[in-house]
């Protein structure tokens, strides 16, 4: 059996640990059609928490139910690319037999303008209505997924939300699922132009429990005839902190250790896998997230790293010499970047597992 763990952005893991029931409302919405609450959903959470994976799971569920899927990322011009995908689907369905099933379209390669001209905006809605009516005749509908909406052009997001609201009022079978970083999504929902999106079913993704990760590791390894005792499974699970990307990383390297050790895994193998996972998480997630920070951003984060848990913004100000308004500004910047999260009144904490340890120098020998 090949290594089932895939520690790559958006790759489908062997087990959606801790995500049981998350898509139940969406699945029910696919059954009853237009206007179902679950068909309007927003996934939020820290980097590497599995937002893109959940979008993929929702897309698979929609396709299995016979719905069409258009998958996009909120880079400039994404609305025009969705429109082009709808045009292609409309042409395909208009010429095809009534009973044919539809397939997913990912149209990231289309070159279109960042914003649609007024006449194209009208055409986009007309085109969408035409496609949705064709799908409704077949007893199905369309699901649009948009990833990384924290980076989206607000004009495009607002237009998409307005048109989807129009489709829902017309009783057309449409689903819309977004994913993005929590602080940026909150800002988006607080803007008047996106009021409609406040009705979305917001799902904040969090770390899985260590017990769930332990169960998943045990079942995955034993299912392939690889021995992983309960103590070792627990140690491996604890190394992930329940963080989905680290679950994939630890599982991936632990599987490699098992391939090299036909006699079975031991504590040293688990330690090597956990160390390799931590280092890759630092390179792929932490260093990438820190690459866009300023010197003062780093000062703020370094001041937080002095605490074993959540940090007081008052203490951060004292440690960095920042005035309260500057502390507030950098707090907002780092929240929007997904590096920190609120932890209570006047408190913040790191949003990315391992970031505190990364910023904390090892003790001098």
Q: pLDDT band at residue 363, thresholds of 50, 70 and 90?
A: low
In this structure, what token pair is assigned to residue 338? Answer: 């997904």
Check whether 111 has a pLDDT greater than 50: no
Nearest residue to 346 via CA among 321, 362, 324, 319 = 324
pLDDT at residue number 98: 43
Q: pLDDT band at residue 107, thresholds of 50, 70 and 90?
A: very low
Task: Tokens 């440690």: give the residue.
Answer: 319
Check whether 230 has a pLDDT greater than 60: yes
Write the pLDDT tens digit of every residue in 143-195. Answer: 999 998 877 788 888 888 889 999 999 999 999 999 988 877 877 777 665 67
Sheet holding 174-180, edge to edge: 105-106, 68-73, 142-147, 174-180, 40-44, 201-204
Task: Report the alpha-carbon angle 81-87-91, nearest 5.
Answer: 150
The mean pLDDT value of the chain amounts to 86
pLDDT at residue number 15: 77
Write the pLDDT tens digit of every residue in 252-267. Answer: 999 999 998 877 889 9
pLDDT at residue number 365: 52
Write the pLDDT tens digit of every residue in 209-226. Answer: 999 999 999 999 988 888
Check whether 43 has a pLDDT greater than 60: yes
pLDDT at residue number 28: 95
Check whether 114 has a pLDDT greater than 60: no
């Amino acid at each position: 059996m090949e290594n089932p763990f895939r520690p790559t952005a958006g790759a489908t893991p062997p087990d959606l640990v801790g995500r049981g029931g998350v898509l139940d409302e969406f699945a029910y919405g696919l059954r009853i059609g237009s206007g179902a609450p679950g068909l309007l959903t927003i996934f939020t959470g820290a980097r590497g928490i599995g937002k893109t994976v959940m979008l993929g799971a929702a897309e698979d569920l929609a396709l299995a139910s016979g719905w069409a899927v258009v998958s996009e990322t909120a880079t400039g011009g994404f609305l025009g690319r969705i429109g082009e995908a709808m045009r292609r689907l409309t042409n395909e369905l208009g010429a095809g037999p009534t009973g044919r099933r539809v397939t997913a379209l990912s149209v990231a390669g289309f070159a279109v303008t960042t914003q649609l001209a007024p006449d194209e905006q009208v055409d986009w809605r007309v085109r969408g209505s035409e496609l949705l009516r064709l799908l409704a005749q077949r007893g199905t509908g369309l699901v649009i997924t948009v990833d990384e909406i924290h980076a989206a052009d607000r004009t495009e997001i607002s237009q998409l939300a307005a048109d989807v609201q129009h489709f829902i009022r017309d009783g057309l079978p449409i689903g819309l699922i977004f994913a993005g970083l929590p602080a940026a999504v909150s800002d988006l929902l607080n803007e008047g132009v996106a009021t409609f999106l406040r009705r979305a079913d917001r799902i904040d993704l969090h770390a899985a429990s260590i017990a769930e990760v332990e169960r998943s590791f045990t079942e995955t390894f034993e299912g392939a005839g690889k021995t992983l005792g309960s103590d070792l499974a627990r140690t491996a699970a604890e190394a992930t902190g329940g963080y989905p990307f680290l679950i994939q990383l630890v599982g991936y390297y632990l599987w490699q250790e098992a391939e090299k050790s036909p006699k079975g895994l031991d504590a040293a193998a688990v330690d090597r896998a956990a160390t390799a996972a931590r280092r890759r998480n630092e390179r792929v997630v932490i260093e990438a997230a820190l690459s866009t920070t300023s010197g003062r951003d780093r000062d703020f984060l370094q001041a937080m790293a002095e605490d074993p848990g959540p940090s007081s913004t008052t203490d951060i100000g004292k440690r960095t010499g920042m005035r309260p308004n500057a502390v507030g500004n950098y707090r907002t910047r780092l929240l929007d970047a997904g590096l920190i999260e609120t932890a209570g009144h006047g408190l913040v904490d790191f949003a990315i597992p391992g970031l505190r340890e990364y910023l904390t120098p090892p003790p001098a020998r």
